[in-house]
Structure 1
Amino acid sequence: MNKPLAVGLLALALAGCASSQPEQPFTLTLAHINDTHSHFEPSDTRLTLNKKTVYTRIGGHPRLLSYANVLREQAAEADQPLLFLHGGDGWQGSGYFKLNEGTMNADLLSRLQLDAMVLGNHEFDLDNQRLAAFIQSVEFPVLAANLDASEDADLQAADNLTPYVLYAFKGNKKKRIDSVADAGKSPVVAVMGLVLEDMPEIASHTGQVRFAQEIATAQQTVNALKEQGVKYIVALTHLGLDRDQRLAEKVNGIDVIVGGHSHSLLGDFSNLGWAKEAPYARQFNNPDGLGQTCVVQAGKFAQAMGQVSVSFTLDGRVERCEGTNTLLADKVFYSDIRRQDKHRLPDAQQQLMAKAITELPNITQIDEDDALRAHIDEQYRPALLKAYGKVIGHVPLPLAHVRLPIANKGSQVAPLVAASQLYWVNTPEVQSITGRRVDFSLVAVGAVRNNIEPGELKEGNVNLEVLPFVNAMSLVSLTGHQMAGLLLETVNGSIGAEAHSGKLPYGAGLRYTFNETSRGRGYVARMEYLHDGQWQRIDPNARYQVALTGYHASGNDGWNTFYEAQKVATDRLDLAYVEGNLTVFPVARLGKSEQGAIEVHYQNQALDCQQSGVTCNADARAFIDYVQARRPILTALPESGVKLNRL
């Protein structure tokens, strides 16, 4: 049913005449996850329980399945409707994705028995042929109402990609239907998908797909659903929390927004030593002053599952919306993140920790699903272990990766990545090819995907987990004035009302201070670079050589200053390996396709990372070389170089 939105709405309108939904109380339970990012294995974590710091593992897909089955059993016993939804970005984030390129995701997500999933931006990380194969192979509908794939050769035939899906309920039993007329007197829930309207600026490979405005499409779809007779409408989105809240306040008729993209673990987790975020299941008034929309999201990396119960009035408005996110914990605790046998807590303390968890509303202990655990271990894990390769260094203490600095304590990993890139591009071997000395490097915090845990550091930890995106390195010059503009747009874009914190820049050989003057806005108070061992102010009129990934050098992900600086001409050089040899690809200029995707125009031979013999993992290679040559005992740098003075 992959049809342009207008065709889908016409079908709704034609079916509407015969519909008549019953006037009866209705309660719906939604279980939801988002931004799982191929974290099929559980995550190591630190918790505070009984005022004691302990370490365990949380989440992973076998644990998600176990908990989903518990919720299904509870719903069946109560004869209550239940839907299990995924808020997008199932792709990327672990070595499993690098090795299997979506096939394992399709396999395991189908085994979770989802009822629907919305497309995230990382689902466009490969190419549309492989995305189409994923969409067609999963056993649940993939949603995107504001996406038109009718002109894309690969996605236009993906009939499992649809604007919305309808489910009719008879107690706990549900049936997917084509129209309300097929439901008889059973209540019908519509789940519509909404994806980023600026997807071509964020995602790597959108092909000929067109993306419509989120708010306009949402209202248009809701109106058509209401005209058909649908009373209960869920928006499954991958927009981020701030855009979800704006959607709730700008669109009439959405009952619940189940979101993703901003990795927001909604709720107060300070009782576990974690952060306190915005409330879970917060309700927002619609513009008509009559309806309310409930907004939920469930964190990241398959660590938690959200569960929200929504009760409706007889005329179909939200009367009550309550629930929580629940962290899914293992049943064994340790005194150290390395979780060796000598660190395992004594049995008496294990029991105390388990008892503490039973008294908390936002965490539970649950075993992994045995069958799914065995399937991963037999089908996928052996290849993963083999792919991790040789040891390149050792990590004595955990290196945390957080996106936005809290009390000016930012990521410990991103500065190391930036330092590795500056080191690598200025090695004699690379300089002999480029003929350039680079002044500083930049890294978008979202390009770094994981913490680095203590113990051995292998090549695979770097190129399969920390830097999985397969990026060429780029050298390009900017003026000091342009640098100030870049910092202004990226920091404002990371802390603002429609924030996507992944665009925040860290650097090496560069440091800056940003002062917030109003919510989500501010100015660059200081910007310096390291020259001959001394920090100096950046001259607005001078030009500086910058090293960064080709993705961000093209202006993607809101780094628009780079695009504007290279529209007419550029001195940019892209670096990748051809048959194992580092090769320079000079860039002539940047442009945009009709769909708005940024295009790189090369002077001579184009860099095609999909071509046989071409390897575009220079960013990961730089980090590996840096650790081996300079930091075989890998510890955090003394400072991150980023200082945010928040209100």
Structure 2
Amino acid sequence: MNKTLVAGLLAFALAGCASSQPEQPFTLTLAHINDTHSHFDPSDARLTLNNKAVYTRLGGFPRLLTYANQLRDQAAATDQALLFLHGGDAWQGTGYFKLYEGAMNADMLSQLKLDGMALGNHEFDLDNAHLAAFINGLDFPVLAANLDASRDPSLQDAENLTPYVLYAFNGSKKKRIKSVDEAGKQPVVAVMGLVLEDMANIAPNVGQVRFAQEVKSAQQTVNTLKEQGVKHIVAVTHLGLDRDRRLAEKVNGIDVIVGGHSHSLLGDFSELGWAQGEPYARQFTNPDGYGTTCVVQAGQFAQAMGQVAVTFTKDGRVAGCEGGNTLLADNQFYNDIRRGDKQQLSKAQQQQVIEAINEQPNITLVPEDATMRAYIDEQYRPALLSAYGDVIGHVPLTLKHTRVPEAGQASKVAPLVAASQLYWANTPEVQAVTGRRADFSLVAAGSVRNSLEPGALKEGHVSLELLPFANPISLVSLTGHQVAGLLLETINSAMGAKAHSGKFPYGAGLRYAFNETSRGRGYLARIEYLHQGQWQRIDPNASYQVVLTGYHASGNDGWNSVYQAQQVLTDRIDLAYVQDKLVSFPVARLSKNEQGAIEVHYIDQALDCQETAVECGTDARAFIEYVQDRRPMLTALPESGVTLKRL
């Protein structure tokens, strides 16, 4: 955002008031982050400045803390109201989460001094006992108005999990209150949370938690707050940009939606060589035709922070909503992603880059908070570094992971992941257990968590970062017709500007061409698979052995066609190691429980990935073995297998 904008927006005077609801206009500034995914350390980044590529690092929690404290100081100096919110998905993403299972997240998030956080889908990646410990370890509330945990033994007593929270403001000073009556003449802001209504289909371990409809629950909560006399309502959500817009257009009374889930960096970053996102702080008209709702989101991985100033009329309507996302950059720049001494820019070149950054409205140089940096380095980082294990190969050039192909450029990483799983499934060791030969593999873009940077590739880079979910690999029979249906379903649902792009399918031993006919819609022009070294058209009536992760083999994350194919009967097998021995777990069928969560019914012994002797992460093991055996110098495959013709 414009570097003078925060000061200008915070300069609105907060006048006195004559009742429990302020009679004078009120301005609230919201600082916000989302989808931080355990990126406590900064991320490597490529920027284009003055038509030249430069490399630096962005974000990380010590940098977030510095910037948040700057905003707090500015709010205090101008006596303005400020809240700092998180749009959910703090879990997963780096080796820190694999090692500390949410405990480090609770520690670091609390140090940021947040005022509230939405519950993301990845917060359900472990069991609810871990989630309860995480929630109870935070010093700020976790918000979810459409969640019922009353039947869940782990979460039913989590007092820090609440539908909404109320804050009363006296200038820049805020106080958490239980009712509007406590506020007296001070303006009150309610922050309510919303989680995915289809959480049970997306998250692997929801326990006995139930999820209600987003729009219906939101309107009911708003009505309850209005009846209490609350004029100003903020929704912190983990729904994705498309559903946030639907919420704004279907619900009366929400003033601002601070979102997450779709990793949307709103604003125009094309001058930095990044994409031009949708506009920041767009306002949508409520169904009553009277009120408006402002929608914001701040990208991913703790790289940026959003700031929006919302000015209200005397009767509590939104009069203005302005702000932007700001990338938080280091002050050291390089001409190569390796970022070594030889690649560092000269002092004169560094100064030119700094001057160019100072001219940009949506990036700023921010030092790391020294205390937090030292704390991470002393308390957590040593274990992370030792956990990375042996070198398995080398990456000579950056392999960028792009979820949905952009400008003809598909992911360089997802096809390698798919190739590793097909290779592994057809090794003699695995075939001796399965008795099958796999025809091709399919991988969802969202299951691949990052790009691969130049340098040594260690086991931990794969199991802790690239493929951190410890998924078993599955083999399942699908007809050509079912494969085509799956591709159409996942491509169409992943391509919209505000869609969940993690559903997008990549493959190995399979290639397809898709032609877009309207925005986010199209048809398959070709589907082929590699048979005995020759590409052949998929036969709609033929049956194929398809390699998938167990998560997507169950139809999770919107891969519904796979679920539908296995409701009555399946020949699927899941593969995991038990006491270091590869074991096949045959599946009989799939079903859904009362909450809509998909359940796997095994023929004999069930696969329990929580057992200490069981290693379910065959997806990561497959990639490690593939690199060691076939591609120790890891470069991109000659083709991605995806031909995508966009309008």
Query: Could you say which residue in structure 1 is the equivalent of 2:269?
Result: 269
Give the Cα separation in 1 of the matches to 2:602 and 2:540: 28
Structure 1 position 519, deviation (Å): 2.0
Give the Cα separation in 1 of the matches to 2:643 and 2:249: 33
Query: Could you say which residue in structure 2 is the equivalent of 1:167?
Result: 167
User: Do residues 351 (structure 1) and 351 (structure 2) align?
Assistant: yes
Query: Could you say which residue in structure 1 is the equivalent of 2:14?
Result: none
Structure 1 position 498, deviation (Å): 6.4
User: Do residues 103 (structure 1) and 103 (structure 2) align?
Assistant: yes
Structure 1 position 274, deviation (Å): 0.5
Residue correspondence of structure 1 range 18-29 to structure 2 within 5 A: 20-29=20-29
2:239 maps to a residue whose letter is L
Structure 1 position 469, deviation (Å): 0.2
Deviation string 1:167-215 (CA, Å, 9 cap, x unpaired) is 0000000000011111101000000000000001111101111100111
| Contact 1:193–1:237 under 8 Å retained in 2 | yes
Query: Could you say which residue in structure 2 is the equivalent of 1:315?
Result: 315
Query: Could you say which residue in structure 2 is the equivalent of 1:429?
Result: 429
Query: Could you say which residue in structure 2 is the equivalent of 1:445?
Result: 445
Greater alpha carbon shift after TM alignment, 402-411 vs 363-372: 402-411
Query: Could you say which residue in structure 2 is the equivalent of 1:540?
Result: 540
1:347 maps to a residue whose letter is K
1:625 maps to a residue whose letter is E
Query: Could you say which residue in structure 2 is the equivalent of 1:365?
Result: 365
Query: Could you say which residue in structure 2 is the equivalent of 1:222?
Result: 222
Query: Could you say which residue in structure 1 is the equivalent of 2:196?
Result: 196
Query: Could you say which residue in structure 2 is the equivalent of 1:394?
Result: 394
2:76 maps to a residue whose letter is A
Residue correspondence of structure 1 range 128-207 to structure 2 within 5 A: 128-207=128-207
Greater alpha carbon shift after TM alignment, 115-124 vs 280-289: 280-289
| Contact 2:20–2:187 under 8 Å retained in 1 | no
Structure 1 position 72, deviation (Å): 0.5
| Contact 1:470–1:618 under 8 Å retained in 2 | yes
Query: Could you say which residue in structure 2 is the equivalent of 1:15?
Result: none
Query: Could you say which residue in structure 2 is the equivalent of 1:16?
Result: none
Structure 1 position 219, deviation (Å): 0.9
Query: Could you say which residue in structure 1 is the equivalent of 2:506?
Result: 506
Query: Could you say which residue in structure 1 is the equivalent of 2:587?
Result: 587
2:135 maps to a residue whose letter is I
User: What TM-score comes out, normalization by structure 1 length?
Assistant: 0.96
1:88 maps to a residue whose letter is G
Structure 1 position 492, deviation (Å): 1.4
Deviation string 1:307-350 (CA, Å, 9 cap, x unpaired) is 00111111111111000100000000001000000000000111
1:175 maps to a residue whose letter is K
User: Do residues 302 (structure 1) and 302 (structure 2) align?
Assistant: yes
Give the Cα separation in 2 of the matches to 1:535 and 1:566: 28
4+ residue segments displaced more than 4 Å: none
SS of the equivalent of 1:106 reads: helix
Query: Could you say which residue in structure 2 is the equivalent of 1:252?
Result: 252
SS of the equivalent of 2:190 reads: strand
Structure 1 position 515, deviation (Å): 1.8
SS of the equivalent of 1:339 reads: coil
Give the Cα separation in 2 of the matches to 1:496 and 1:297: 17
Query: Could you say which residue in structure 1 is the equivalent of 2:624?
Result: 624
2:132 maps to a residue whose letter is A
User: Do residues 126 (structure 1) and 126 (structure 2) align?
Assistant: yes
Give the Cα separation in 2 of the matches to 1:549 and 1:259: 29
Deviation string 1:92-126 (CA, Å, 9 cap, x unpaired) is 00000000000000000000000000000000000
SS of the equivalent of 2:457 reads: strand
1:459 maps to a residue whose letter is E
Query: Could you say which residue in structure 1 is the equivalent of 2:5?
Result: none
Greater alpha carbon shift after TM alignment, 514-523 vs 333-342: 514-523
Query: Could you say which residue in structure 2 is the equivalent of 1:239?
Result: 239
Query: Could you say which residue in structure 2 is the equivalent of 1:381?
Result: 381
Query: Could you say which residue in structure 2 is the equivalent of 1:4?
Result: none
1:180 maps to a residue whose letter is V
Query: Could you say which residue in structure 2 is the equivalent of 1:11?
Result: none
1:121 maps to a residue whose letter is N
Give the Cα separation in 1 of the matches to 2:163 and 2:408: 42
2:445 maps to a residue whose letter is V
Deviation string 1:360-400 (CA, Å, 9 cap, x unpaired) is 11000011001110110011000000000000000000000
Query: Could you say which residue in structure 2 is the equivalent of 1:47?
Result: 47
Structure 1 position 22, deviation (Å): 2.4
2:291 maps to a residue whose letter is G
2:230 maps to a residue whose letter is V
Query: Could you say which residue in structure 1 is the equivalent of 2:115?
Result: 115
Superposed CA RMSD in Å reads: 0.9
| Contact 2:20–2:183 under 8 Å retained in 1 | no
2:159 maps to a residue whose letter is D
User: Do residues 60 (structure 1) and 60 (structure 2) align?
Assistant: yes
Query: Could you say which residue in structure 2 is the equivalent of 1:32?
Result: 32
Query: Could you say which residue in structure 2 is the equivalent of 1:6?
Result: none
Query: Could you say which residue in structure 2 is the equivalent of 1:597?
Result: 597
1:313 maps to a residue whose letter is T
Residue correspondence of structure 1 range 486-505 to structure 2 within 5 A: 486-496=486-496, 499-505=499-505
Structure 1 position 626, deviation (Å): 0.2
Give the Cα separation in 2 of the matches to 1:466 and 1:606: 27
Query: Could you say which residue in structure 2 is the equivalent of 1:460?
Result: 460
SS of the equivalent of 1:283 reads: strand
Give the Cα separation in 2 of the matches to 1:390 and 1:383: 15
Structure 1 position 643, deviation (Å): 2.0
Greater alpha carbon shift after TM alignment, 85-94 vs 498-507: 498-507
Give the Cα separation in 1 of the matches to 2:78 and 2:443: 50
Matched residues, number: 629
Give the fraction of aligned pairs with identical amino acids, expressed as a percent. Answer: 76
Structure 1 position 621, deviation (Å): 0.2
Greater alpha carbon shift after TM alignment, 46-55 vs 138-147: 46-55
1:435 maps to a residue whose letter is G
Give the Cα separation in 1 of the matches to 2:521 and 2:229: 43
Give the Cα separation in 2 of the matches to 1:94 and 1:498: 25
Give the Cα separation in 2 of the matches to 1:626 and 1:530: 19
Deviation string 1:213-254 (CA, Å, 9 cap, x unpaired) is 111111111111111111111010000001111111111111
SS of the equivalent of 1:567 reads: coil
Deviation string 1:548-598 (CA, Å, 9 cap, x unpaired) is 100000010001111111111110010000011111111111111211111
Give the Cα separation in 2 of the matches to 1:441 and 1:386: 33
2:105 maps to a residue whose letter is N
Greater alpha carbon shift after TM alignment, 352-361 vs 26-35: 352-361
Structure 1 position 513, deviation (Å): 1.5
Give the Cα separation in 2 of the matches to 1:223 and 1:410: 46
| Contact 1:408–1:642 under 8 Å retained in 2 | no
Give the Cα separation in 2 of the matches to 1:38 and 1:260: 15
**Closer, same or farther in 2 for the Cα pair 1:493/1:645, shift >3 Å?**
same
| Contact 2:475–2:574 under 8 Å retained in 1 | yes
1:205 maps to a residue whose letter is N
SS of the equivalent of 1:216 reads: helix
User: Do residues 577 (structure 1) and 577 (structure 2) align?
Assistant: yes
**Closer, same or farther in 2 for the Cα pair 1:497/1:60, shift >3 Å?**
closer
Query: Could you say which residue in structure 1 is the equivalent of 2:611?
Result: 611
Structure 1 position 497, deviation (Å): 7.5
1:144 maps to a residue whose letter is A
Give the Cα separation in 2 of the matches to 1:80 and 1:636: 51
| Contact 1:75–1:81 under 8 Å retained in 2 | yes
Give the Cα separation in 2 of the matches to 1:341 and 1:532: 49
Query: Could you say which residue in structure 1 is the equivalent of 2:86?
Result: 86
Give the Cα separation in 1 of the matches to 2:569 and 2:20: 61
User: What TM-score comes out, normalization by structure 2 length?
Assistant: 0.96
Give the Cα separation in 1 of the matches to 2:75 and 2:360: 22
Give the Cα separation in 1 of the matches to 2:97 and 2:425: 28
Structure 1 position 408, deviation (Å): 2.4
Name stretches of at least 5 consecutive residues in structure 1 with no aligned partner: 1-18
